[in-house]
Structure 1
Amino acid sequence: MEMHQLAYFVAVAEERNFTRAAARLRISQSGVSAQIRQLERELGAELFDRASRAVALTAAGKAALEPARAVLKAAEEVARSVDDVRGLVRGSLTVGMVIGCTVTPLFAALADLNAGHPGVEVALLEDASDRLADGVRAGVLDVALLGTAVLPDGLESLTLISEPLAALVPPGHPLAGRAEATLAEVCAGPVVCMPPGTGLRTVFDLACAERGLTPHVALTASAADAIADLSARGLGTAILTPSMSAAYTGRLTALPISDLSTPALLALAWRPNPSPAARAFLTHARARFGL
Structure 2
Amino acid sequence: MDLRQLEYFVAVAEERNFTRAAERVHISQSGVSAQIRQLERELGAELFDRSGRVARLTVAGKAALEHARAALAAAAAVGQAVGEVTDVIRGRLAVGMVVGCTVTPLFEALAAFRHAHPGVELALTENGSDRLAADVRDGVLDLALLGAAGEPPQGLRSHVVVREPLVAVVPPGHSLAGHPGATLREVTAYPLVCMPRGTGLRGVLDQACAAAGITAPIALEAGAPDAIADLAARGLGVGLLSESMAPRYAERLTALPLTDVTTPGLLALVWRDTRSPAVRELLAQCRRTFSRP
TM-score scaled by structure 2?
0.87
Distance in 1 of aligned mates of 2:240 and 2:184: 11
Question: Counterpart of 1:215?
Answer: 216
1:143-154 matches, within 5 Å, as 143-149=143-149, 150-154=151-155
Deviation for aligned residue 1:62: 5.0
Cα distance in 1 for residues equivalent to 2:68 and 2:38: 15
Shift of 1:100: 2.6
Aligned partner of 1:79 in structure 2 is 79
Q: For the Cα contact (< 8 Å) 1:142–1:274, is it kept in 2?
A: no
Inter-partner Cα distance in structure 1 for 2:98 and 2:258 = 24
Q: Is the 8 A contact 2:94 2:124 kept in 1?
A: yes
Distance 1:108 1:67, change over 3 A: closer
Residues 176-233 of structure 1: CA deviation (Å, up to 9, x unaligned): 2222211001101122111222211121112112211112222222221221222222
* Aligned counterparts of 1:51 and 1:91: Cα–Cα separation in 2: 31
How far has the Cα of 1:148 moved from its partner?
1.8
User: What's the counterpart of residue 46 of structure 1?
Assistant: 45
One-letter identity of the residue aligned with 1:46 = A
- Of 48-57 and 205-214, more deviation after overlay is shown by 48-57
SS at match of 2:291: coil
CA shift, 1:165, in A, is 0.5
In 2 relative to 1, CA 14–223 (structure 1 residues): closer, same or farther, beyond 3 Å? Answer: closer
| SS of alignment partner, residue 255 of structure 1 | strand
Q: 1:191 to 1:63 in 2, by over 3 A?
A: closer
Provide Cα deviations, 1:11-68, integer angstroms capped at 9, x if missing partner: 444555444443443333322222223233334x114254643433344x45544443
Matched-pair contact (CA < 8 Å) for 2:40–2:47: no
* Distance change >3 Å, CA 180–CA 87, structure 1 → 2: same
Measure, in 2, the Cα distance between the counterparts of 1:131 and 1:56.
Answer: 20
User: CA separation of 1:3/1:250 partners in 2, compared to 1, >3 Å: closer, same or farther?
Assistant: closer
Looking at structure 2, the residues matched to 283 and 165 of structure 1 have their Cα atoms a distance apart, in angstroms, of: 29
Q: Is the 8 A contact 1:168 1:252 kept in 2?
A: yes
Q: Is the 8 A contact 1:148 1:202 kept in 2?
A: yes
Alpha carbons of 1:158 and 1:195: their partners in 2 closer, same or farther (altered >3 Å)? same
Change (3 A) 1:64 1:245: closer
RMSD: 2.4
User: Are residues 1:278 and 2:279 paired?
Assistant: yes
Are the structure 2 counterparts of residues 49 and 280 from structure 1 closer, same or farther at C-alpha, using a change threshold of 3 Å? closer
**Distance change in 2, residues 1:230/1:70 (3 Å):** closer
Shift in CA distance, 146/24, structure 1 to aligned 2, threshold 3 Å? same
- Quote the residue 2:160 is aligned against: 159
Count, aligned residues: 289
| Structure 1 stretches lacking a partner, 5+ long | none
